[in-house]
């Protein structure tokens, strides 16, 4: 399958242009936030600036949406726009949203309601936004997509599972295109959890959304071809590939964040530019600019290929 | 791509209707309804619910426990070794509650003190339904959890069907599970769509849904001789509203069309329909109208929510099992709770147990977020 469009929202800003610019510039400093007014404890985070989420036109049908949904709608819409493809009325688009933790800030807001006002006095609006598939619903309505839509939650495997399902839907002929991506958010409770569970000196929590417009492989790719999970095994190593670096120096640690590596790899292949801050170079690949780079792979901790991007 | 036949090799289910398939069929046969007050947790909300009674949970996580019960029943009935190292066995389940960071005690403690018992988070991180089942049975294959609100269970079956058709796995364990939980109880109550009486799907005087809990599981295989098959799965988005269905049922129509087309059959080949039928004013009106428009007012239709309540992420999977059972047994239960026809709805569900002889049946699901799904289940030709 091919990547035809990319949309990103992260601490680096919105859109593939700002993402590319940030890749050129290299790592940025995280913000320090206080996650509890009681303990006054702080944590460094790569959070998304609320100003980035202000787009009255793109979000006109999402006025009541929370940050989680807004990030997803903007990234998905940008991916579609970035492709430049005019979708015909009879061409079906699918939507696959993947998330590690879902809209947990909204869930916590709902718990606030129960604790503060009692079980019988909670907000129906907050409840309806606390379901994981609220983002997919907003994407479908904002972009008027009536094809299949699904939301997957598999912690660190969320994005690779979304890619695999997108590939299956396209191969089956369920849809001609799939908007597949990830969205995850930060919240004070999540920052506390990260403070307890992560080695913050190495992994700084982040948030954001990345979406891709994917098509069948037979259509010329705007960016590159992408294979995922099982389909990428057995690929010959031609000595000209590079492996993406399994770290998060700019957008932060996001459980579903392999989508950001995928976006950066697709941009490297398209721009024929190796963003050395973000990758681990093989010995025979040293130039910052290289026409030789044809293939970028992303591995999980067990060295299994999660996805494999190729440009012909 | 070849349109592979997807065999249903085994099934399992648990709900208020019964703790296994045998008990469920007995309840359907007699029209028994097991409804009562909430006993699983303290609540100020006095709504009838469908809890699984006389049930000893297998673990602390009740949703996982219900799923384990259904999986164990399915594996017990499976004619083969599910842990066969030479087979790629995929695992895909739908849920709502198990996916959410919604532990009230954890959050309350964090809010008040700025810290909380982190073992709650460890349990959450170790509670991915697909991961747990795959590890328990040492399964090597894809695994995923679908969170499409009330269509999660059937959509998980749809994912498994896609995996099998694309040769991503050889066998799939698919379904859905959800426990009765305080958060959705408060949430659905706030939406004003919960009934003070046991739910009455498609009834003229219906007042809303009743919550339930349970799990439904299918073991699916590609190109295997079987008595029952998942003939096709289809889905579509309303692209309309976060909670209300599209007034014309746009997404449901799209899902049914896709499923019927994929199955390679005509609408008239569907013998009966196991409808989503939650008993909310909007759902039943839209769903009934679409079913009536597509299949005619005389189609044999029923909703099993009158026996199980709305089991949310489990519903589509439980109802897939019920639909397959109805084809296998040759009868469908009376639509519990239904008394009086609503002229605004295009169909009138069955008031008594009815014999069925057809080869194909349809199960429909509608969900928050405008998700709609349809599953065609086929009985082997005699």
pLDDT digits (tens, 9 = 90+) for B54-108: 999 999 999 999 999 999 999 999 999 999 999 999 999 999 988 999 999 999 9
Q: Do B101 and A107 touch (CB under 8 A)?
A: yes
CB A213 within 8 A of CB A177: yes
Share of residues in chain B with pLDDT > 70 (%): 99
Which one, of A59, A72, A63, lies nearest residue A103 by Cα? A72
Would you call B241 a catalytic residue per the annotation?
A: no
> By three-state DSSP, how is residue A219 classified?
coil
CB B363 within 8 A of CB B231: no
Which one, of B339, B364, B359, lies nearest residue B349 by Cα? B339
What pLDDT is stored for residue B331 in this prediction? 98
CB B275 within 8 A of CB B303: yes
Q: Do B118 and A193 touch (CB under 8 A)?
A: yes
What pLDDT is stored for residue A241 in this prediction? 60
- Asked if A118 reaches chain B (Cβ–Cβ under 8 Å), the answer is yes
Q: Which two tokens stand for residue A289?
A: 């600019």
Give the helix/strand (H/E) hosting B194: none
> Crossing angle for the helix pair A258-271 and A16-25, nearest 10 degrees?
80
Q: What are phi and psi of A260, to 5 degrees?
A: -70, -35
- Asked if B45 reaches chain A (Cβ–Cβ under 8 Å), the answer is yes
Cα three-residue angle B107-A65-B287, rounded to 5 degrees: 100
Q: Name residues 85-104 of chain B within 8 A of A (Cβ).
A: 96, 99-102, 104
Half-sphere exposure of B330 (CA within 13 A, CB side): 3
Would you call B150 a catalytic residue per the annotation?
A: yes
Q: Name residues 241-300 of chain A within 8 A of B (Cβ).
A: none
Number of DSSP helices (H) and strands (E) in chain A, helices first:
8, 13
The DSSP 8-state label assigned to residue B294 in this structure reads H
What pLDDT is stored for residue A89 in this prediction? 84
What pLDDT is stored for residue A232 in this prediction? 41
- Asked if A133 reaches chain B (Cβ–Cβ under 8 Å), the answer is yes
Q: What is the mean pLDDT of residues B334-340?
A: 96
Q: Which two tokens stand for residue A129?
A: 């936004």
Q: Name residues 176-235 of chain B within 8 A of A (Cβ).
A: 182-183, 185-192, 235
What pLDDT is stored for residue B26 in this prediction? 98
Q: A88 to chain B nearest CA, in Å?
A: 17
Residue with tokens 């896609």: B162
Find the catalytic residue in B13, B92, B246, B276: B276
How large is the ipTM?
0.97
Sites in chain A below the pLDDT cut of 50: 231-236, 238-239, 246
Q: Do A39 and B143 touch (CB under 8 A)?
A: no
Which one, of A221, A218, A212, lies nearest residue A8 by Cα? A212
pLDDT tens per residue, range B6-55: 999 999 999 999 999 999 999 999 999 999 999 999 999 999 999 999 99
pLDDT tens per residue, range A250-305: 888 899 988 998 998 899 899 988 876 655 555 555 555 666 788 888 776 666 77
pLDDT tens per residue, range B128-144: 999 999 999 999 999 99
Q: A131 to chain B nearest CA, in Å?
A: 7
Q: Which two tokens stand for residue A178?
A: 């799939």
What pLDDT is stored for residue B58 in this prediction? 96
Would you call B4 a catalytic residue per the annotation?
A: no
Q: Which residues pair with B128 in a beta bridge?
A: none
Confidence of residue B243 (pLDDT cuts 50, 70, 90): confident
Share of residues in chain B with pLDDT > 90 (%): 95
DSSP letters spanning A151-163: EE--GGGHHHHHH
CB B120 within 8 A of CB B151: no
Give the helix/strand (H/E) hosting A244: strand A241-244
Domain B6-379: which CATH number of 3.60.15.10, 3.40.47.10, 3.30.1370.10, 1.10.287.810: 3.40.47.10
Which one, of B77, B12, B7, B11, lies nearest residue B379 by Cα? B7
Find the catalytic residue in B13, B150, B169, B199: B150
- Asked if A123 reaches chain B (Cβ–Cβ under 8 Å), the answer is yes
Q: Does residue B220 surpass a pLDDT of 50? A: yes
Q: Which two tokens stand for residue B99?
A: 């996916």
- Asked if B3 reaches chain A (Cβ–Cβ under 8 Å), the answer is no
The greatest distance separating any two alpha carbons of chain B, rounded to the nearest whole angstrom, comes to 66
- CATH for A2-223 is 3.40.47.10
What pLDDT is stored for residue A303 in this prediction? 65
Terminal Cα distance for chain A, rounded: 13
- Asked if B38 reaches chain A (Cβ–Cβ under 8 Å), the answer is no
């Amino acid at each position: 399958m091919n990547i035809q469009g990319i949309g990103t929202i992260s601490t680096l800003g919105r859109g593939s242009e700002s993402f590319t610019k940030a890749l050129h510039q290299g790592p940025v400093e995280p913000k320090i936030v206080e996650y509890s007014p009681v303990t006054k404890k702080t944590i460094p985070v790569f959070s998304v600036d609320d100003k980035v989420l202000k787009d009255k036109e793109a979000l006109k049908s999402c006025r009541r949406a929370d940050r989680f949904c807004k990030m997803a709608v903007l990234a998905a819409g940008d991916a579609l726009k970035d492709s430049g493809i005019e979708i015909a009325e009879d061409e079906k688009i699918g939507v696959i949203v993947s998330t590690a933790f879902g809209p947990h800030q909204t869930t916590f807001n709902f718990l606030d309601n129960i604790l503060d006002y009692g079980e019988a006095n909670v907000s129906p609006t907050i409840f309806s936004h606390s379901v994981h598939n609220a983002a997919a619903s907003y994407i479908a309505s904002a972009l008027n997509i009536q094809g299949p839509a699904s939301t997957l939650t598999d912690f660190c495997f969320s994005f690779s599972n979304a890619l695999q399902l997108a590939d299956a839907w396209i191969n089956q002929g369920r849809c001609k295109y799939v908007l597949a991506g990830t969205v995850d958010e930060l919240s004070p409770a999540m920052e506390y959890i990260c403070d307890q569970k992560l080695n913050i000196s190495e992994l700084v929590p982040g948030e954001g959304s990345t979406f891709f417009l994917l098509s069948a492989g037979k259509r010329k790719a705007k960016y590159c071809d992408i294979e995922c999970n099982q389909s990428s095994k057995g690929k010959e190593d031609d000595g000209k590939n590079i492996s993406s670096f399994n770290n998060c120096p700019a957008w932060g640690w996001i459980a579903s964040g392999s989508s950001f590596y995928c976006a950066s790899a697709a941009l490297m292949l398209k721009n024929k530019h190796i963003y050395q801050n973000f990758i681990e170079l093989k010995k025979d690949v040293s130039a910052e600019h290289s026409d030789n780079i044809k293939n970028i792979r992303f591995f999980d901790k067990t060295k299994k290929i999660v996805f494999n991007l190729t440009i012909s | 791509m070849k349109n592979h036949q997807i065999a249903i090799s085994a099934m399992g289910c648990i709900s208020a209707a019964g703790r296994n398939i045998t008990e469920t069929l007995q309840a359907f046969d007699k029209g028994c309804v097991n409804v009562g007050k909430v006993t699983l947790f303290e609540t100020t909300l006095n709504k009838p619910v469908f809890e699984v009674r006389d049930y000893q949970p297998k673990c602390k996580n009740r949703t996982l426990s219900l799923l384990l019960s259904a999986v164990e029943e399915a594996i017990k009935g499976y004619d083969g070794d599910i842990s066969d190292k030479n087979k790629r066995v995929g695992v895909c389940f739908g849920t709502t509650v198990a996916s959410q960071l919604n532990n009230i005690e954890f959050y309350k403690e964090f809010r008040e003190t700025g810290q909380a018992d982190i073992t709650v988070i460890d349990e959450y991180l170790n509670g991915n339904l697909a991961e747990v089942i795959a590890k328990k049975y040492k399964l090597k294959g894809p695994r995923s959890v679908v969170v499409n609100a009330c269509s999660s269970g059937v959509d998980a079956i749809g994912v498994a069907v896609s995996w099998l058709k694309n040769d991503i796995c050889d066998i799939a364990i698919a379904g859905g599970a959800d426990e009765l939980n305080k958060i959705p109880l408060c949430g659905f109550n706030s939406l004003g769509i919960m009934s003070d009486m046991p739910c009455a799907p498609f009834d003229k005087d219906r007042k809303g849904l009743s919550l339930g809990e349970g799990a439904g599981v299918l073991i699916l295989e590609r190109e295997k001789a079987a008595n029952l098959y998942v003939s096709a799965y289809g889905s579509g988005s309303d692209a309309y509203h976060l909670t209300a269905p599209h007034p014309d049922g746009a997404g449901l129509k799209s899902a049914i069309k896709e499923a019927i087309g994929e199955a390679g059959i005509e609408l008239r080949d569907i013998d009966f329909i196991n409808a989503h039928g939650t008993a909310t004013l909007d759902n039943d009106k839209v769903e009934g109208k679409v079913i009536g428009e597509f299949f005619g007012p005389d189609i044999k239709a029923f909703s099993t929510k009158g026996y199980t309540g709305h089991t949310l992420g489990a519903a589509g999977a439980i109802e897939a099992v019920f639909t397959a059972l109805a084809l296998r047994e040759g009868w469908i239960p009376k639509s519990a709770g239904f008394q009086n026809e609503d002229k605004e709805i295009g169909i009138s569900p069955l008031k008594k147990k009815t014999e069925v002889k057809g080869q194909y049946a349809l199960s429909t699901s509608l969900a928050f977020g405008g998700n709609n799904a349809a599953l065609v289940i086929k009985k082997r030709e005699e």
